Amino acid sequence: MEMLEGLNEAQKAAAGHIEGPMMVVAGAGSGKTRVLTHRIAHLIDQGVDPFSILALTFTNKAAKEMKARIGKIVGDAEARNIWMGTFHSVFARILRIESERINYPSNFTIYDTQDSRSVIKDVIKGLGLDDKLYKPNSVHGRISGAKNNLIAPQDYAANPDIMGEDQQAGRPRIAEIYAGYNNRLQRSGAMDFDDLLFKTNILLRDFPDLLHKYQQKFAFLLVDEYQDTNFAQYLIIRQLGAARENVCVVGDDAQSIYSFRGANIQNILNFQRDYPDCTVFKLEQNYRSTKTIVEAANTIIAKNQDQIQKEVWTGNDEGEKIQVHRALSDNDEGAHIADAIMTTRSRERATHKDFAILYRTNAQSRAFEEQLRKRNIPYRIYGGLSFYQRKEIKDLIAYFRLVANPADDESLKRVVNYPARGIGKTTLDRMTVASAHHDCSLWDVLREPFRQPSDLKGRAWAKLQDFATMMEGFATKLETATAFDLGHHIAQHTGLLRELHKDKTPEGVARYENVEELLAGMKEFSEEVDPANPEAIRTMADFLVDVALLTDADQDDGDDDKVSMMTIHAAKGLEFPYVYVVGLEENLFPSQMALNTREELEEERRLFYVALTRAEKKATLSYALTRYRWGQLIQNEPSRFIEEIDERYLLLPTVSAKRPEPFDFNNARTSFYKPMPSGASAPPKPGMKKVGRRPATEDSPQSEASSGTVPAQAGNIAPGVEVKHARFGKGKVLKLEGEAPNIKATVFFPSAGQKQLLLKFAKLEVL
């Protein structure tokens, strides 16, 4: 049992089990990756052919890490032969092998979300529909949901419930858009992400010989994060595992948080019903967090009804209590968290990357960004514009995709006049009309004379032909050149590198450097050796498959020393010594959109559980009594999730460091609005600070230059701060000039435009 050394008893039992269906319920921080890794190594050690093992993950990064770990145990040669990767990457590989069965070229393009929405927008326009009613993002979400539930366009249109929902939403023609969108994909030899699973299910459903082939090929199936699978993924696993039932799933129902993507928690909850003979293993020892964090998280998740019972525990130290911070406003919340990071980093000698700020929605990041910038604290926002979504990168990759698949209309439209070649919108519109008339790709219109539009001749047509000839020249190198050699050749000979190099602005230089970085990555990719075929070169087609299936998580190297900021959904699978879970207010977290059913509320609670269990040493929870939402100042009450934590694990908020106040959850809404004693002056409303001189403390030093008549003090008015003026209403400070007591503020008021105000007379209130 050498392959199982270093595991605890529960891990060893799970990793050592071989035959039959099995489910590993892995609590947060319990070492599930170790179990998967050692189980695969153990299978190989017991004589199982690596080629017959299919291991499915949710990120390429996770698959590569697991494969590297397995390689250290059994050797790289064996590890490389395992079929391991994301659902999308593994089944894209199978689809390329079997594509002719469903009338697709083997070099089909994979469209990302941006590409898909661009096609949908064109289809909406072609049908003469209003894109403000039929918003491409919303329509794409509707189509994606249908595909994840294996509902084809014809089935969509024939389903009275679905059509009734669209009718009620005032968008009765989504079925037509879906059909037109799918037709455009087929015509362009393209699949979207959802198609990679949808088409795989079609292959396994409609071609019994293929189902039998892959059932025999994959003797052992392992699925990570099983609680995140949707119906399409569930059905693929059921079909592939039906012959032998050597299906091992690993997951944690308490961390099922992706229902908005189609994930179905019932897949893991009902696994024992699907496989009555399955063996269940529970990993309950948490190696990540302190005892306080683990036990507090247990008290939260215990409130959910739909769950597999387990008791997560840890042998780690007790640790600090979970601090609950009550802020007057969202800006105050941001300032407190930024200060806390500075203090903790200094006291604990921590690095910036030890800290994470987690929020429910991306919109909450603003207040924290502003406060971190003011203190020169470096940070990184996850889920922002990824490297491969930058315009200059998408432009060059569009050239690559068009060379590999000339039928790709989206790529052709993107680059046919970039860099500028005198091919204008009118020319492209005429091409588009011709392609719709002949039901063919734009490339077919270009290269088949009988499809040439009658109103497109002369110089415009000649320029199009020159472009097509150039692309065909690139295509001759597809099979013989490495991805880097062809990529560099295309970047040079299209004029793209020259175009970017002309722009000497900081933004232009950054774009040029991004393209250089892409080419450097292609160089590294091209030099990797395929162990199954050491002599084979890594071509452009290989590179495009690799790039198309990257996720945000795969693109993060995690090496920069920066504070991490992200939504809780993006944080799943990560861990940090110090975690701040912010915006814990009713109707924000839990979200107002998720309070209609018990199932929705339970998913929000699981999301909070995930947030808290990201913390290793210390967790802080914070909420704001007032927050601007949709342009309105909203008064908040603390989230019910704070109240659900056993109070013994919490360090509750006080009014000030000098005068503690007992925290009463039931009275939290009114505790700041008690009537003032007779004769006392009324305090400012929560979230509104009367600008004026305040006592000097360690936290709020007074400016020695201040004369006492100037309302603006350090920490009150600064560029970016929102203020209120008695005459002009709400506005935003753009800049400050001068010195006290004659400081001038330039403020933009939506009702009155830009104004310059002398602060000692303006009587501004900070919002």
Name the residues annotated as catalytic: 32-33, 224-225, 255, 614
Q: How far is CA 453 from CA 108, 448, 459, 693, in A?
A: 27, 11, 14, 75
Helix 365-374 and helix 330-348: axis angle, to 10°?
A: 50
Determine the Cα–Cα distance for residues 159 and 703; give it in Å rounded to an integer: 69
Determine the Cα–Cα distance for residues 251 and 660; give it in Å rounded to an integer: 43
Phi/psi for 529 (5° steps) reads -105, 135
**Cβ atoms 287, 31 nearer than 8 A:** yes
Q: How far is CA 93 from CA 52, 85, 357, 481, in A?
A: 15, 10, 37, 21
**Positive or negative, the Cα torsion across 53, 55, 60, 63?**
negative
Between strands 722-725 and 729-737, the pairing is antiparallel
Alpha helices per DSSP H over 652-747? none
**Cβ atoms 483, 525 nearer than 8 A:** yes
Q: What is the rounded end-to-end Cα distance, in angstroms, of the chain?
A: 65
Q: Name residues whose C-beta falls within 8 Å of residue 313's C-beta, 6 or more positions apart in sequence.
A: 284, 285, 286, 294
Alpha helices per DSSP H over 245-312? 266-269, 271-274, 291-301
With 0-12 / 13-18 / 19 or more C-beta atoms within 10 angstroms meaning exposed / middle / buried, residue 357 is buried
Residue-wise burial string across 250-273, b where 16 or more C-beta atoms lie within 10 A, e elsewhere: bbbbbbbbbbeebbbbebbeebee
Number of H helices, E strands in the chain: 32, 22
Six-digit token pair at 661?
Answer: 């106040």
Q: How far is CA 509 from CA 392, 415, 491, 514, 515, in A?
A: 11, 21, 16, 9, 10
Between strands 576-581 and 615-629, the pairing is parallel
Q: How far is CA 130 from CA 124, 135, 145, 293, 486, in A?
A: 7, 8, 22, 51, 42
254: left (phi over 0), alpha (psi -120 to 50) or beta: alpha
With 0-12 / 13-18 / 19 or more C-beta atoms within 10 angstroms meaning exposed / middle / buried, residue 160 is exposed
Q: How far is CA 88 from CA 99, 191, 545, 734, in A?
A: 15, 11, 11, 47
Residue-wise burial string across 507-543, b where 16 or more C-beta atoms lie within 10 A, e elsewhere: eeeebbebbeebbebbeebbeeeeeeeeeeebbbbbb
In this structure, how many other beta carbons lie within 10 angstroms of the beta carbon of residue 10? 18
**Cβ atoms 635, 689 nearer than 8 A:** no
**Cβ atoms 144, 177 nearer than 8 A:** no
